[in-house]
Amino acid sequence: MQPVDTARKGASIWDVVGQKTFGDNVNELTKLPNSVPKDPRVYTKVDWFGRGNQEGSHTFPFEVERQLADDVAFIAASEEGARRVSAVIIEEGNGAGLTVRLAANEGVPEAVSTSLKEIFAVLQQCANEGMH
């Protein structure tokens, strides 16, 4: 762990608990049998459109976009447990096309990244050829 010295002396979060102690505690917590993440938050159509988003301005219906994000996250879940959590967002571009962003707390394994790129390449080819 690299030292972090961004706060003035006496105002650092590391004054109470040192970085090494904190890191050791986190490592110990991940070894516990119940070290699982909280239940995922499921956003509803009301949650999304209640924030000023307009339903008619999207390429796909909310349910389709959410299901696509859920499906990609499922495919990306290369390991079970709290150490390998994935999150996916779908972004609509200006015009035709979507951007899929994937994040994982332990990094995205190369095999997962390669597999998803292959899947999306096939989908892109089908879209370009007009297959629906």
pLDDT tens-digit series, residues 89-117: 888 776 667 888 888 777 788 888 899 99
* 52 within 8 A of 99, measured Cβ to Cβ: no
Q: Which of 131, 12, 29 is nearest to 83 (CA)?
A: 29
Q: Which of 53-57, 75-79, 124-128 has the lowest mean pLDDT?
A: 53-57
Domain ranges of the chain: 39-128
Q: What is the pLDDT, as a whole number, of residue 117?
A: 92
pTM: 0.55
Residue 68 amino acid letter: L
Q: What is the pLDDT, as a whole number, of residue 38?
A: 64
